[in-house]
Structure 1
Amino acid sequence: MSTIYRSAAGEREALLRYRAALEAWPVPAEHVRVPTREGETFVLVSGPEDAPPVVALHGSGANSSVWAGDVAAWSRHLRVHAVDLVGEPGLSAPSRPALDSDAVARWLDDVMAGLGLSRAAFVGMSLGGWTALDHAVRRPDRVERLALVCPGGIGRQTPLRLARALVWTPFGRWGRRRSVRAVLGLHDAGHAPLVEEVAATFGGFRPRTETLPVFSDTDLRSLAVPVMAVMGDKDLMIDSADTARRLRAHVPHAEVTVLPGVGHAVLGQGPAVLDFLRAG
């Protein structure tokens, strides 16, 4: 059993769900396994080989299945590389490189080298947004554009608000569902399948618990590439108002959108992201 899971049964269930999602992938995709210094990294590659490359990075407690609703549209115009972050419940190695160092950037260097990419646009969600932004700061010559969805590392994290939402977690599947709805802001009945999926994953998975390093004003001002960022004003994990304020102050060319009534799960942004990625 991998140490990122609570039990062998939890690991088996998470991987079975992911493999089912891969079997239902809406477009033809190559399953690529890239050797890296952090262990093997799994990447789903789809779209025309000669199309502009995009690297898509999911959030914590997730895997590349989060892009299933967007990849069909994106891959008509782009070469999409959906990367399973190491240390998360996907098919990549369980390694967790230190966030307060250049270890994540070096891992992503290896991934890009293995994929034959010298430069690409990046789409990042939550922890994946932090990872993409970290790469843009440390490797500015390798990032073409930066699309960030509920990104970490810009606005303050809000652990007290998060803790109040997680109070129901110990009470079995019912409690996890309630906490997931609160944390992600998914209260509509139509989101029940997604809530169930997330609750099931966190029943057997041990998420990273360290605080994300916050990018400095200087780091943000160094971003010369086109940037878009979208977040919800009801996010319980990250202070979205702080994220928007800092981006507008230090990345004035960024397209910043704060969605009213939306939590950490920012859904339905695929068309806007595609328009942004194709604008170049």
Structure 2
Amino acid sequence: MTTIYKSETGATLVRQRYEELLKTWPVPAEHVRVPTREGETFVVVSGPPDAPPLLLLHGSGANSSMWRGDIASWATHFRTYVVDIIGEPGGSAPSRPPLDSDRLALWLDDVLEALGLESISVVATSLGGWVAVDYAIRRPGRITRLALLCPGGIGPQQFGWLPKALLLRLFGSRGVRHTARMVTGLDSPETEGALDDVVLTFNQFKPRTERLPVFPDEALRTLTMPMLLIVGDRDLMFDSAATAERISRCVPTATVRVLPGVGHAILGQTDTIERFLRAE
């Protein structure tokens, strides 16, 4: 486990916080562990067993707890499968297959097979958005409806914030908190709790450092399922204007929303996404 953490003590701190957050899950849930070729994968399952399946994929440096504010609404109408991506600070294996391969798609094949899922709707954010798009391109027809929040791999990844972040590290915990606020856009009193969790995680966790591969236009044009894209115009991680332009051009049937004044962490979209998921 220390392969993705700075220390075993740090891994324990992050794990304990995750367990605390899972106890606040707002609806009844099953905790399922499924075997895959990349190691065990942790899934939080909620909602009526006979409802349509909905898969949720979180971003880098996060885990299933990020969906706590959405799940009560979505699990009313869907059987939700909230997956901890491997190699991230959740309950799944620390394996990090290279992104320029098909191994994450093969891992997701294993997850879906273990859960007995053939076709699914997906909501995904950031790194999870990259995983979802990669899978949709490699496995045509399996994702029937796709909602993306600030996904990677479409607009260029941005690194202009890094020099300031390195300077802020000199100011210790205050600098780390300021960096987290700057990068995520969690800068309101209502998001202080979420910012606390980000700071705790990144004080102990070693995120992926490789660039996310960018999908070519011809690959994006194969995405024919109903799609919703939501980006913030203040996203420091990905070029949101380029993301919106490429999806509008390559997937002209997609619904594209650019939120003014919003950074990389996109909150408050529960109802918008639910309307999209339930549309005829």
- What TM-score, normalized to structure 2? 0.98
Alignment of structure 1 residues 50-89 onto 2, 5 Å: 50-89=50-89
Aligned position for 2:48? 48
Output the CA distance in 2 between the equivalents of 1:228 and 1:247: 10
Alignment of structure 1 residues 68-147 onto 2, 5 Å: 68-147=68-147
Output the CA distance in 2 between the equivalents of 1:204 and 1:22: 19
- Count of matched residue pairs: 280
Aligned position for 1:236? 236
Which amino acid is the alignment partner of residue 237 of structure 2?
M
Q: Which secondary structure does the structure 2 equivalent of 1:159 belong to?
A: coil
Output the CA distance in 2 between the equivalents of 1:166 and 1:11: 23
Distance 1:99 1:251, change over 3 A: same
State the percentage of identical aligned residues. Answer: 57
Give the CA deviation at 1:171. 3.2
Give the CA deviation at 1:169. 3.3
- Superposition CA RMSD, Å: 1.1
User: Which runs of 5 or more structure 1 residues have no equivalent in the other structure?
Assistant: none
User: Which runs of 5 or more structure 2 residues have no equivalent in the other structure?
Assistant: none
Distance 1:165 1:172, change over 3 A: closer
Give the CA deviation at 1:170. 4.9
1:127, 1:151 within 8 Å by CA — same for their partners in 2? yes
Output the CA distance in 1 between the equivalents of 2:24 and 2:161: 36
Q: Deviations over 1:94-134 (max 9, x none)?
A: 00011001111000000000000011001111000110111
Aligned position for 2:250? 250
Give the CA deviation at 1:189. 2.3
Aligned position for 2:217? 217
1:162, 1:237 within 8 Å by CA — same for their partners in 2? no
Which amino acid is the alignment partner of residue 209 of structure 2?
T
Q: Which secondary structure does the structure 1 equivalent of 2:223 belong to?
A: coil
- What TM-score, normalized to structure 1? 0.98
Aligned position for 2:259? 259
Output the CA distance in 1 between the equivalents of 2:147 and 2:274: 9
Distance 1:163 1:36, change over 3 A: farther
Q: Deviations over 1:2-56 (max 9, x none)?
A: 2100011110010000001111111111111010000000000000111010110
1:57, 1:128 within 8 Å by CA — same for their partners in 2? yes
Output the CA distance in 2 between the equivalents of 1:198 and 1:125: 15
Output the CA distance in 1 between the equivalents of 2:155 and 2:11: 32
Output the CA distance in 2 between the equivalents of 1:217 and 1:27: 40
Which amino acid is the alignment partner of residue 157 of structure 2?
Q
Output the CA distance in 1 between the equivalents of 2:234 and 2:166: 15
Give the CA deviation at 1:159. 1.2
Output the CA distance in 2 between the equivalents of 1:107 and 1:198: 26
Output the CA distance in 2 between the equivalents of 1:59 and 1:120: 19
Q: Which secondary structure does the structure 1 equivalent of 2:141 belong to?
A: helix
Output the CA distance in 1 between the equivalents of 2:103 and 2:162: 27
Aligned position for 1:18? 18
Output the CA distance in 1 between the equivalents of 2:170 and 2:11: 19
Q: Deviations over 1:186-231 (max 9, x none)?
A: 2222221111110011000000010000011001110110000101
Q: Which secondary structure does the structure 2 equivalent of 1:169 belong to?
A: helix
